[in-house]
Amino acid sequence: MPAASVEIVVNLHARLGEGPRWDHRKGLLAWVDILGGHVHLTDPDDGSTTSIRVGGDVGALALHGDEGYLLAIGNGFATLTEVGIVDFQPVFEDHGLRMNDGVVDPIGRFVAGSMARDGRPKMGSLYQRDVDGLVRPLFDGISISNGLAWSASGDLMYYVDSGLQRIDLMDYDTASGAVSGRRQFVEVPEADGTPDGIAIDAEDCLWVALWGGGKVRRYSPDGRIIGEVVLPVPRVSACGFGGPDLDRLFITTAAVGRGQSVDDGGLDGALFVVDPGCRGTESIVVPGTV
């Protein structure tokens, strides 16, 4: 896919844009600036954006109830409503760690992971918040917990620990939420960038943002590279399908990386969109009243 097909939706110079989720309830793209502490709600037609300052590091969001959002923020989970942050639920006590990327599983559990703020390896864990609010760890020893996605059948979970330079695959029991059989799906050469956020399309193919590589890559279910989108900036953080027909791929980027900074006059930190030639799947809503 040629780089010319990539368009800018809005350029907010996000310090660390992440987690684009199509909010079909509102017809908006919801995404976060982790280090900026914002939840952004963007109209993809004109780029108009409502920015909600939530404070702290907001790693990911999920659609919650009729109109709210569930956040992986700071050292736990919280709900964002029209009145602000409520029902904060701490998960761990070490404030040297923070929550990072997270995605909702096929039945409404919010799965999100943690990482060390200073980048220390193997300090993070992957947590699962059930529909009743109960949180349990799935596994630990994670360096940089990042992308998550489920196959169409729901019995396979893709997972990225960016510290391993690969995408893993594991068996997922949707009834219990248990994971097993973790194995490598694909290894990404360092020269291509580091795997970050991921998204799955309606053809069961996996899209991965390559941090430092300036690309989003598409893999077939058997791990073959079958497509690539080239971005005009290197720090590509996540991707997600959106639009009324879920036929547009939105891509977040970062203006500031770990130990890196860029000129705010550039495109780093912009939200991009591309026609991927396929459709995505609708974001699962975490059940509940907010």
pLDDT in tens, 194-203: 999 999 999 9
pLDDT band at 83 (very low <50, low <70, confident <90, very high): confident
**pLDDT of amino acid 187:** 97
Query: Per-residue pLDDT tens for 33-57?
Result: 999 999 999 999 999 999 999 988 9
Query: What whole-number distance in Å separates Cα of residue 15 and Cα of residue 268?
Result: 9
Asked if the model's pLDDT at residue 259 lies above 90, the reply is no
Q: What is the pTM of this model?
A: 0.95
* Percent share of the chain, pLDDT over 70: 95
Angstrom distance (rounded) from CA 12 to CA 15: 9
User: Which residues have CB under 8 Å from 249's CB, separation 6+?
Assistant: 199, 207, 216, 229, 239, 240, 241, 242, 273, 274, 275, 276, 280
Matching residue, tokens 């990072």: 100
Q: For 2-16, what is each residue's pLDDT tens digit?
A: 444 899 999 999 999
Mean pLDDT taken over the chain: 94
Q: What is the pLDDT of residue 101?
A: 97
The predicted pLDDT at position 192 comes to: 97
Q: Is the pLDDT at 204 greater than 60, yes or no? A: yes
For the cut 60, the answer to whether the pLDDT of residue 260 exceeds it is no
Q: Among residues of the chain, what percentage have pLDDT more than 90?
A: 91
User: Does residue 75 contact residue 94 with C-beta atoms inside 8 Å?
Assistant: yes
Rounded CA-CA distance 25/267 in Å is 29
Query: Hey, what are 144's tokens?
Result: 């940089």
Q: What is the pLDDT of residue 289?
A: 64
Compute the C-alpha angle 102/288/199, nearest 5°: 25
Q: Is the pLDDT confidence value at 144 over 50?
A: yes
pLDDT tops 80 at residue 264? no
Kindly list the strands in the beta sheet with 194-200, ordered across the sheet, starting from the edge strand earlier in the chain.
194-200, 206-211, 215-219, 225-230
- pLDDT of residue 238 exceeding 60: yes
Can you give the pLDDT at residue 56? 82
Bridge partners (DSSP) of residue 30 are 21, 41
57 annotated active-site: no
CA–CA dist 114, 238 (Å, integer): 16
What is the per-residue pLDDT for 256?
84
Judged by average pLDDT, the poorest of 174-178, 194-198, 261-265, 284-288 is 261-265
| DSSP label at residue 280 | B
3-274 has which CATH code? Answer: 2.120.10.30
The model's confidence at residue 161, banded by pLDDT at 50, 70 and 90, is very high
226 and 186 in contact (C-beta within 8 Å)? no
| Amino acid letter for position 229 | V
- Does residue 263 carry a pLDDT above 60? no
For residue 131, the SS3 value is coil
Displacement of CA 61 from its chain's centroid (Å): 8
State the catalytic residue, choosing from 101, 196, 201, 268. 196
Query: Tell me: the pLDDT tens digits for 96-136?
Result: 999 999 999 999 999 999 999 999 999 999 999 999 999 99
Answer with the residue of higher pLDDT: 263 or 50: 50
pLDDT of 258 above 60: no
CA distance 25 to 123: 36
Q: Mean pLDDT across the stretch 161-186? A: 97
